[in-house]
Structure 1
Amino acid sequence: MNANKALWEKGDFTQLAQTMRESGEALVNKIGVNKGMHVLDLGCGDGTTALPEARLGATVLGVDIASNLVQAGNQRAQKEGLSNCKFQEGDACDLQDLKDHSFDQVVTIFGAMFAPKPFEVASEMVRVTKKGGKIVMGNWIPGDPTLVAQILKISSAYTPPPPEGFISPMLWGVEEHVVERFGKAGIAKENISFERDTFTFRADFSPEEFLAKFQNYYGPTMNAFEAAQKDGKENELKRELETLFKSQNQSGSQDKTSIPATFLRVTVQC
């Protein structure tokens, strides 16, 4: 079993994705998706950015390693009548079913960064992008004080050390690593640009309930809680995360959640 596939099929990311819809749509409106374009949405989940791209008139293929998310994405697209949006299973490290230079734009928001072979990921994204097209990545930033980077940092303190050869997905949030990876894929440094951007999680329930979604449905956090439970530290982990979620909530209400998270937006001109 592919370990990355197992991780993302373990929970149900749709439970978290519901808090990301508004920011997903806002981001798509900023990155130049237009009617008639062919867009690959890589690590697409259930379509947080893929559906907004299709609503703008692009022909969108969503690719994700998790079969449950592919199914959920197709159901969402069908429900909206978006015949220009399809989802299929695939691995960002090896997009073997996709032809060279077949997409005007490749978009991956907190998706391809989690694939285990970053140089292969960069190479594959460049390969399937048309000459003159572009790649847009959204990547969490290591050590950033906002929500997701801190969730992953806290969780890692409760889990066993990663296997030998493991490359942290957070390195996609470091500009030098991004330049190196795309450089090996033939992209000049001057064709890569970076911008700090914000993604806001919004929900009509409390930060504690939002944390419960991570605990019960988000693979990396699920693993952290399982490991902490074995060590008798489950309550300690929960308290630490509850403090984080409450302190970052900007909704002005204990019963609603609005938590902004900073990420690195990468744009690659091919």
Structure 2
Amino acid sequence: MSTKTMTPVNPNKALWEKGDFTQLAATMRESGEELVKKIGVSKGMSVLDLGCGDGTTALPEARLGARVLGVDIASNLVEAGNRRAESEGLSNCRFEEGDASALQNLEDHSFDMVVSVFGAMFAPRPYDVASEMVRVTRPGGKIVMGNWIPGDPTLVAQILKISSAYTPAPPAGFISPMLWGVEDQVIDRFEKAGISKENISFEKDTFTFQAAFPSSTFLDKFRYYYGPTMNAFEAAQKEGKEQQLLAELQDLFRKQNRHPNENCTSIPATFLRVTVQC
């Protein structure tokens, strides 16, 4: 009697379906478009956007004429992405549910470019993620990742750092997604996937969150719609530390806001842009 090996369930699915990341993604549109213009997307190119959310970079890629498949673990974000593509008449862009650690439905060497901006970094089993990205990229194609940097003084790294202080210790074997922001870690993962170090390059870049509301309202988007922060507030509430967490984040958002009008938000966040030549 044969036994079938089951792929482990991605523990992040519930996390990213818990809130509504579209509330945050709405503040990231301009930076998403700017990044896509930098990375060499062109008409007719086949692009996989991995951990795509509702299309912050996938839709700009399609507007440039690429054939785009967006893959995300969260079904609500896949639905939102398909709605956005349909509303813009982008028949060259579609979204489907999938796990960056196991792209079972995608054939080898089927994309000219794989893009993952603050997406695949949160998937479990990072060595599998690197292997899968390399597998589905054609020889001569490239992979571009945008990853938050551990300990960076800008917004997102600090949100995650502060939040982690209020949440229970992760389970044994947990690998921090922030390690995708460490160059040596990235090199090791892609080398294990068959990429030579010489074909991996790094550049510090900036994503700017822009909103026509104050930083306190922007913080509310993280508090009520962003899974990791939602979990932190729930844990802090159980320990009677909810107001302490809120005060820390309020101070962070206020200090990080660069907009001259206090009723608007413009907060830059530094990330590591990784380019892999396959």
Q: Name the TM-score class by shorter chain.
A: over 0.9
Q: CA deviation at 1:32?
A: 0.0
Q: Does 1:243 find its partner at 2:265?
A: no
2:146 is matched with which residue: 105, 128, 138? Answer: 138
Partner of 1:168: 176
Q: What letter corresponds to residue 139 of structure 2 in structure 1?
A: K
- Aligned equivalent of 2:66: 58
Aligned length: 270
Q: How does 1:96-175 map to 2 (within 5 A)?
A: 96-175=104-183
Secondary structure of the residue that 2:213 maps to in structure 1?
coil
1:233-256 per-position Cα deviation (integer Å, ceiling 9, x unaligned) = 000000000000000000012100
2:273 to 238, 259, 265: 265
Q: For residue 92 of structure 2, what is the amino acid of its counterpart?
A: N
Instruction: Report the more deviating stretch, 125-134 or 2-11.
Output: 2-11
Question: Aligned Cα RMSD in Å?
Answer: 0.5
- 1:232 aligns with 240
Aligned AA (1:89):
E
Q: Of 46, 49, 59, which aligns to 1:41? A: 49
Deviations 1:92-133 (A, max 9, x none): 000000000000000000000000110000000000000000
SS at match of 1:88: strand
**CA distance, structure 2, for counterparts of residue 253 and residue 152 of structure 1:** 26
1:201-216 → structure 2 map (5 Å cutoff): 201-216=209-224
SS at match of 1:69: helix
- Could you tell me which residue of structure 2 aligns to residue 85 of structure 1? 93
Structure 1 residue 2 displacement after superposition: 3.8
- 2:130/2:193 contact within 8 Å kept: yes
Q: Which amino acid aligns with 2:104?
A: Q
Find the aligned partners of 1:2 and 1:34 in 2 and give their Cα distance: 32
4+ residue runs over 6 A deviation: none
Structure 1 position 181 matched with structure 2 position 189? yes
Aligned to 1:30: 38
Counterpart-to-counterpart distance in 1, 2:261 and 2:197: 44
1:208-263 per-position Cα deviation (integer Å, ceiling 9, x unaligned)? 00000000000000000000000000000000000000000000121000000000
Identity over aligned residues, as a percent?
A: 78
Instruction: Work out the CA distance in 2 between the residues paired with 1:199 and 1:156.
Output: 22
TM-score with structure 1 setting the length: 1.00
**Structure 1 unmatched runs, 5+:** none
Contact 2:109–2:136, Cα closer than 8 Å, also in 1: yes
SS state of the match for residue 81, structure 1?
A: coil
Q: Any conservation in 1 of the 2:258–2:265 contact (CA below 8 Å)?
A: yes
